[in-house]
Amino acid sequence: MKVYYGVDEFPQLKGVVLTMGTFDGVHYGHRKILKRLLESAKVNNGHAVVMTFHPHPRTVLFPDQTDLRLLSTVTEKIELLASMGIEHLIVQPFTLDFSKLTHREFVERYLINQINMQRMVVGYDHQFGHKRQGNFDELLKLSSEFGFEVEKIPEQDIDEVVVSSTKIRNALLTGNVSLANQLLSYNYSLCGEVVKGNQVGRTLGFPTANIYLSDNNKLIPSDGVYSALAYVNGVQYKSVVSIGNRPTFNDSKKSIEVHLLDFNRDIYNQNLKIEFVEFVRTQRKFDQIEGLIQQIKADISIANEHLS
């Protein structure tokens, strides 16, 4: 997949079939639209093009709101779209000036004059342009004026299984990663750098990799213990992930700790990807260290069952 950081980088192509949106998480509902995009491009002997926006529009339009939590970073979104077979991706910078374009200005200036779009595929509830005043009916009017075709994916096709980014976020925030994975159609993941912690896990006989996330908007699942798959240099390992503030040690700092099973190498400063599989238990405080050690052993046993 070719990635263009702005429409100015996009080459002149014939037969462009385009869809656009934030596509946070590239979940099941998004994939229905993207699959139709690919089918339409193939039938029309054209090129499947996706336009998304970065940073997320909410961070630009409402900078004082700090509660936005995203299902995918821009890097993860690129990987997910590439895995679907999308040919061309435009990551359009989203600015305040850009947000003030009317839907007509946006279509004429960007989609027609610069991208040379011939066909557009959108979901039934698609909105765009200043104050989201553009919709499917407006696209139909503009299609007659500018000579492109527009196709709407019906509500029943997208909502065959009720999916929304909000529903997925709520599932993750309550620890229900199995439901989130079902709605996403893949395992929810975090990726970050392994940094040094206080090495308590090592003294207990269960060394952990502490993960630092560089994107503050990336959603972290609810505090608790999870079975997960970890990837070091592309190699998969079974693992147990603990998210929280380590109540047994009265630690007020929240951390993401990963214990990789059958693994004992130094991976400081390396990137580690973890895919959540199942919720194991909530965080709890132990009066004695021996109680914590026995619980960790039980967590590992449960994780092995989940991952077998």
List 211's β-bridge partners, or say none: 194
- Percent of the chain at pLDDT exceeding 90: 82
Does position 252 have pLDDT exceeding 80, yes or no? no
Q: What domains appear along the chain, each with residue ranges and CATH number?
A: 2-163 (3.40.50.620), 181-307 (2.40.30.30)
Rounded to whole angstroms, the Cα distance separating 3 from 66 reads: 29
Q: What pLDDT does residue 162 have?
A: 61
DSSP string, the chain: -EEESSGGG----SSEEEEE---TT--HHHHHHHHHHHHHHHHTT-EEEEEEEES-HHHHH-TT-----BS--HHHHHHHHHHTT-SEEEEEEP-HHHHT--HHHHIIIIIITTT-EEEEEEETT--BSGGG-B-HHHHHHHHHHHT-EEEEE-HHHHTTS---HHHHHHHHHTT-HHHHHHHHTS--EEEEEEE----HHHHHT---EEEE-S-TTB--PPSEEEEEEEEETTEEEEEEEEEE--GGGT--S-EEEEEETT-----TTSEEEEEEEEEEE-----SSHHHHHHHHHHHHHHHHHHH-
Catalytic-residue membership of 305: no
DSSP β-bridge partners for residue 4? 90
| Rounded Cα–Cα distance for residues 127 and 60 (Å) | 17
Q: Which strands make up the sheet holding 2-4, listed edge to edge?
A: 2-4, 88-93, 47-54, 16-20, 117-123, 149-153
Structure tokens that stand for 245 in this block: 């503030």
Q: Residue 2's beta-bridge partner residues?
A: 88
Q: Which two tokens stand for residue 201?
A: 């896990």
User: Which amino acid, residue 177?
Assistant: V
Among the ranges given (78-92, 148-162, 290-304), the one the predictor scored with the smallest mean pLDDT:
148-162
Q: Give me the mean pLDDT over the 103-132 stretch.
A: 95
Evaluate if residue 161 carries a pLDDT over 60: no
Interval 60-74 mean pLDDT: 93
- When pLDDT is averaged across residues 234-253 and rounded to a whole number, the result is 89
Higher-pLDDT residue of 156, 131: 131
Confidence (pLDDT) at 253: 84
β-bridge pairing 149-153 and 117-123? parallel
pTM of the model: 0.91
pLDDT for the residue numbered 69? 94
> What φ, ψ does residue 137 adopt, rounded to 5°?
-65, -40
Identify the active-site residue in 76, 138, 257, 275. 257
Give the separation between CA 222 and CA 281, rounded to whole angstroms: 11
Here the tokens at position 14 are: 């014939």
Q: What is the pLDDT of residue 163?
A: 78
Are 13 and 40 within 8 A, CB to CB?
no
Residue 272 confidence (pLDDT) above 60: yes
